[in-house]
Amino acid sequence: MKYNTIKEGIFIKRPNRFIAHVLVDGKEEIAHVRNTGRCREILIEGTRVILEVSDNPKRKTGYSLIAAYKGDMLINIDSQVPNQVVYEAINQNKIPLITNVKKLKREVTYGNSRFDIYFEKEDFRGFIEVKGVTLEENGLAMFPDAPTERGRKHIEEMADAVANGYEGFIIFLIQMKGVQAFSPNFSMDPEFSEELRKSASLGVKVLAYDTIVNEDEIVISEPIKVIGI
C-alpha cells in the first residue's frame, strides 16, 4: 500500500484522539491522527513523524499523521491501512493458508458483525478480521493498546461463524519490522485476550504478520510467532 505525497514533521502534542500538533518546516500545524488508540509510547514530544499531505482543499487539516519513529524503528500507525495491506497480500498469494481464492470481498456482514474480508476457495469459504498492531515492548508486539469491547465481540462472532461451517481467521498485522513474537495484551484487556484464546481452541486461526514500513509505503512481510493463546 503506497501513499501519494508525504512530508516529515516533529510531534508536539496530541490534545485529543483525533488531532495532533506537529512542526512542519518550522511552522506549527494541526494534523489528523489516523489512529484513535493511545499510541502513548510512540507519540512523544520531539518524535519524528511522517505525514500524508491531503489533496482535498475542503479538509480542515492539510495533513494526516500516518507513521512515527521509535528510535530507529519506523511504525506505521494508520489504522485505515491494515485491511488494505492484507487484502493486497491475499490477492498476491502471500498468505499460504489463503491462496488462490476465487472470490474476495471487503466489509461483509455476518450476524451482528461486519468482518473485514470474505473469501471463497474451491473447497471452503470464510471470513477474515484484521487487527492493526502498533504496540511493541522489548521485541514483543501486543494487541490491544486500549480495552476493546467491539474487538472482543468480533472474535466471539468469528467463533460462531466457524461453528457454522466457515473458515475463520484473525490476522494481526504488526505495523513495523523487528519484533520477535506477538501476544494478546492480557494486562490491558483480559476479556479480549481470553476470548481470543477461547476462539483459537474452537478452530479460529490466529495469525500474525509483520510488515516492511517505509515512509511512503507499507507491505506485508513475514509470519510472526503467536504466543499466549
Question: Which residues are CB-neighbours of 72 under 8 A, at least 6 positions away?
Answer: none
pLDDT of residue 56: 80
Q: CA dist 27 to 14, 53, 87, 129, 215, Å?
A: 16, 15, 37, 40, 21
Instruction: Give the per-residue pLDDT at 38.
Output: 85
CA terminus-to-terminus distance, the chain: 30
Q: Which fold has domain 82-226?
A: Trna Endonuclease; Chain: A, domain 1 (3.40.1350)
Domain locations along the chain: 6-76, 82-226
pLDDT (tens place) for every residue of the chain, 229 residues total? 999 999 999 999 999 999 999 999 999 999 999 998 889 899 999 999 999 998 887 778 889 999 999 999 999 999 999 999 999 999 999 999 999 999 999 999 998 889 999 999 998 999 999 999 999 999 999 999 989 999 999 999 999 999 999 999 999 999 999 999 999 999 999 999 999 999 999 999 999 999 999 999 999 999 999 999 9
The confidence score (pLDDT) of residue 123 equals: 87
pLDDT of 169: 98
CATH of domain 6-76: 2.40.50.580
* 128 touches 166 (CB < 8 A): no
Q: What sections of 143-201 are H helices per DSSP?
A: 149-163, 190-201
Cα 64 to chain centroid, rounded = 16
Question: What pLDDT sits at residue 57?
Answer: 75
